[in-house]
Structure 1
């Protein structure tokens, strides 16, 4: 389990997100001239790196398949447009998934049957699960990018995509964080709400105003069916009651019935008692359910999500907001307010990794897959992807060029808020063990629906934690 990310992320994300110019490349060091060896001495062999092969465009059209949750369909189309200009004979059939659980399940089944996509994304906490199906990209990277290829990315990037046995299964595309709230400023203005909450009491008061004056508007739409989302929110909350304690419990060095961890679960329950979220939240996924049925339909004032939505959803022409009921509404975002005794601090980590299926038999197709991989993680595609504002880039030197395209100042202010929050981020936003994510997610759902008390929930989590092979 990686703990170093907790300390390196603040500096790294500031570096990646502050729109810094490309880092200068060191000039080659001049080697002083030396005397030629004596005639009786054999010349010393000089090791040279093998020259990278030049990619040859296929003479006949070929098609690769690509599955992912990120990028979105519209974001991919922007990236793919440029790819097709460069490589018209290499088509890519992209299948976008909105439900992350469905994605992981279908990908696992397809890969195991030998029918998986040529290109796919892997979540950081599923590297060991899917790593055996992915190409080890390190030989390619060394040959094409140089022996020190890892230095092109922020330090946490490649370790996050490396299996325990040292296999590098791909390259991460971005760093993401939780927990944020999107809000419809047009609606808050109409209700006389002029400032966003920074404490839970302020949030509760804001929610009451919405319920009193909003003619049926829901304060916050939440998709609590998604365990990945609500467990990330629990980690965010737990760090406000005892910073770092949740990671100790994850590692097995602290108990889940620790008073601070129990208080975080009680805080979660209180939000449902206070009706901060819509009824039936546990039955709805974050995407598309809560987002589309409530926030984009103008039935909720706010929507719980992560950094991947801040700014990106309002960015034309690919933003998800475009074409919805709230397309012309001014919107913004804020960090979910402080709930516990310690400050609200974003959690963050590398979220997903771009991988190549290692079962591709046709060499032309494999070469094409690696060419798209290069384009997406280190070439023009990396810039295009960064400009969607979907995530903080891991490739050093990327400059975001699209901030001025955001339609409202509140959107631009939200991105600046995100930069600051990411710069102060502490700790991983997701568990490293999928078994733990499942146990905590189930416990949270049972607490939210009243099936279990917070105390019973923590006992269930502890029982599941005891079964994890660490």
Structure 2
């Protein structure tokens, strides 16, 4: 059963890559193979008096902010009506979006959550080149971290929110175990020790959300460089070896975190388990706020504190933290209503997305009042968080990154470390295969 689930994921990933690769080979160079910007209409509606209907694809549940955003826009703009379509940010969900973008289905605007996904969509010609949009300065509005999302020195979307990933802590459990909130500069050896002290027969020491599972190895390679000085793959570095071994030991020796096969095959709801008190720590992003703040559906009475995503070793140099900016809003280069879509994108980025703040998505535009966003985030749940660690970690400033590695290479990497975590392959073979397959993509 475990093997079948893994193969299904691999096949889906391969199919998505095939669709985008095949379609992209027929497109233009700059991801702008549809109608040219500015030529889609004489007015936002295409013809005088005509009403435009746009679709926006995103991964956030509608009730967690997008519905309020869309309702606000539609009320203020009767000539341009927007429909929100939710897709799940996993391999099948991204395949669904990519298919819609390429086959001419309704997909005028969409949100990208990783640079590698955006790169594939640029290559496929379904992301509008924004370099000639002189009416909006992304660098000025979003700050220097926005440049991490440039592809070929151009923007193909607007980074709209502050990205955050960290360790969520059940502070009540820490207090009961006599453990302080970890220092900012802690390591995975420290985390492993915490997990061992916090685990019980009914409580995991650590759970990891799938989106955060590679946070440390990504931050490590962002600092080391994805290639060595001789141009060969750096996917077999010693820090990755130590990190993968540490997590493996936590699964099979300490039993302080779930075995990988069990977590994947059971589709373990790690955020729900953390909020139910079934785990002392959770590695995840700010998107968990939408559940943590929903005391009706996710009731809990403990206080939550925060720690950074740990380094591998204390003397590790040039480590980068998961963060920066995210939720990059792109206009489909094949949309028939690019002018209208661009008008919505600017509005969304400069404050229209504010209702999303209650679910943890803090707008990155300088046009948005940060205090207003903070108030929305904590409204009614102020006593559920340790404010000192929140200010230090969630709203702290750390060197961040956007990993610039082809999605195919990341998919291959995942296939290899999954074999290690399923005890189908030893660690040295895993590292060797990851580097070998990455090298093939480099060539």
Smaller-chain TM-score bracket: 0.7 to 0.9
Matched, 1:424 2:398: yes
Equivalent residue for 2:345, pick from 373, 377, 380: 373
Distance 2:229 2:257 in 1: 28
Write the deviation string for residues 16-62 of structure 1: whole angstroms up to 9, x where unpaired: xxxxxxxxxxxxxxxxxxxxxxxxxxxxxxxxxxxxx9967985655
Equivalent in the alignment of 1:168: 155
Matched, 1:452 2:425: yes
Write the deviation string for residues 255-310 of structure 1: whole angstroms up to 9, x where unpaired: 43343442333233233232231234664399983223x2234322322113444x
Equivalent in the alignment of 2:206: 220
Q: How does 1:58-207 map to 2 (within 5 A)?
A: 59=49, 62-70=52-60, 73-88=63-78, 90-122=80-112, 123-131=114-122, 132-139=125-132, 141-142=133-134, 144-145=135-136, 150-157=139-146, 159-164=147-152, 168-178=155-165, 180-189=166-175, 191-197=176-182, 198-207=186-195
Alignment CA distance shift 1:74-1:138 (3 Å)? same
The DSSP-based 3-state class of the residue aligned with 2:298 is coil
Matched, 1:247 2:247: no
Equivalent in the alignment of 2:329: 354
Alignment CA distance shift 1:417-1:156 (3 Å)? closer
Distance 1:71 1:111 in 2: 20
Write the deviation string for residues 48-89 of structure 1: whole angstroms up to 9, x where unpaired: xxxxx9967985655322111258641212323432331245
Equivalent in the alignment of 1:296: 275
Equivalent in the alignment of 1:44: none
Structure number, greater radius of gyration: 1
Distance 2:276 2:349 in 1: 35
| C-alpha contact (below 8 Å) 2:301/2:384 kept by paired residues | no
**CA deviation after TM superposition for structure 1 residue 254, in Å:** 5.3
| C-alpha contact (below 8 Å) 1:440/1:461 kept by paired residues | yes
Distance 1:173 1:358 in 2: 19
Equivalent in the alignment of 2:33: none
**CA deviation after TM superposition for structure 1 residue 161, in Å:** 4.4
Distance 1:463 1:371 in 2: 45
Distance 2:411 2:79 in 1: 43
Distance 1:441 1:195 in 2: 34
Equivalent residue for 1:275, pick from 239, 250, 255: 255
Distance 1:433 1:250 in 2: 19
Alignment CA distance shift 1:113-1:438 (3 Å)? same
Give the TM-score, by structure 2 length: 0.74
The DSSP-based 3-state class of the residue aligned with 2:382 is coil
Distance 1:286 1:65 in 2: 33
Equivalent in the alignment of 2:264: 284
Give the TM-score, by structure 1 length: 0.70
Equivalent residue for 2:434, pick from 461, 465, 468: 461
Matched, 1:413 2:398: no
State the superposition RMSD in angstroms: 3.6
Alignment CA distance shift 1:72-1:461 (3 Å)? farther
**CA deviation after TM superposition for structure 1 residue 467, in Å:** 0.7
Write the deviation string for residues 110-166 of structure 1: whole angstroms up to 9, x where unpaired: 222221411111232223311211223343x31x34xx6643331342x444443x6
Which consecutive unaligned segments of at least 5 residues does structure 2 have? 1-41
Distance 1:124 1:177 in 2: 15
Distance 1:366 1:288 in 2: 40
**CA deviation after TM superposition for structure 1 residue 341, in Å:** 3.2
| C-alpha contact (below 8 Å) 1:235/1:246 kept by paired residues | no
| C-alpha contact (below 8 Å) 2:54/2:109 kept by paired residues | yes
**CA deviation after TM superposition for structure 1 residue 187, in Å:** 4.6
Equivalent in the alignment of 1:11: none
Alignment CA distance shift 1:128-1:417 (3 Å)? same
| C-alpha contact (below 8 Å) 1:220/1:304 kept by paired residues | yes
Distance 2:130 2:267 in 1: 31
Distance 2:386 2:74 in 1: 31
The DSSP-based 3-state class of the residue aligned with 1:408 is helix
Distance 2:199 2:342 in 1: 53
Equivalent in the alignment of 1:401: 372
